[in-house]
Amino acid sequence: MHDQPRFKPLAESDFYSDLRSARPPVEGTVARGQLREDSYLYTGKMGNNPGDYMPFPVTTEVLARGQQRYDIYCAPCHSRVGDGNGVIPSRGFPRKPPSYHIERLRKAPLGYFFDVITNGFGSMPDYSSQIEPRDRWAIVAYVRALQLSQDATAADVPAGQKVPSEPPRFEELGSGATLPVVENKPAHEEPK
């Protein structure tokens, strides 16, 4: 088994008339991981139009992954808040990317963002070879979260997720250690 006849990848072969050892796949076969039955997952389109739903549930893990990938691939141009004032445009890139918070992009379907990440748009290159489809969708979910965060109010936050507006006061811990009580003082006082 260790010494069996085989072709070395991309090596010349006298066996075939075209002298190539690499052969095209047999018609009707699909390589592992390349079936792509769910066309929406890989294109973001329903027919010729961008769809407006996520192909899988959006969880906190998906949003965290989207934020991580966004910070790597998108933030240099679009900035961490999506306003288009990233490091690259601030250093003289000729075309500033649009803010995600303009009305046109706030109303854009989710599939539009997926398509732009996949195929590029304007001076933005495509990222289809760098970012896997599921990660592209995670970025799309994060972009929508960025958009929704700009006009959010305290009432929009679910009850179980709200953070108290004032820090809790600690007098003493059970171990006897004392923590200082937080006083609401101005950050700086005006000179008298």
- Could you give the dihedral angle defined by the CA atoms of residues 54, 60, 65 and 68, in that order, rounded to the nearest 10 degrees? 120
Q: Which domain holds residue 66?
A: 44-150
- Domain contains 162: no
In a domain, 123, yes or no: yes
From first to last of the 192 residues of the chain, give the pLDDT tens digit: 678 888 888 888 888 888 888 888 889 898 887 888 889 999 999 999 999 999 999 999 999 999 999 999 999 999 999 999 999 999 988 899 999 999 999 999 999 999 999 999 999 999 999 999 999 999 999 999 999 998 888 788 788 777 766 665 655 555 555 555 555 555 555 555
Global pTM reads 0.70
Establish if 11 belongs to a structural domain: no
Residue 74 class from Cβ within 10 Å (0-12 exposed, 13-18 middle, 19+ buried)? buried
Domain count, the chain: 1
* Residue 136 maps to a domain: yes
Domain annotation covers residue 189: no
User: Residue 91 belongs to a domain with what CATH number?
Assistant: 1.10.760.10
Residue 63 lies in a domain: yes
Q: Who's near 179: CB < 8 A, 6+ residues apart?
A: 170, 171, 172, 173
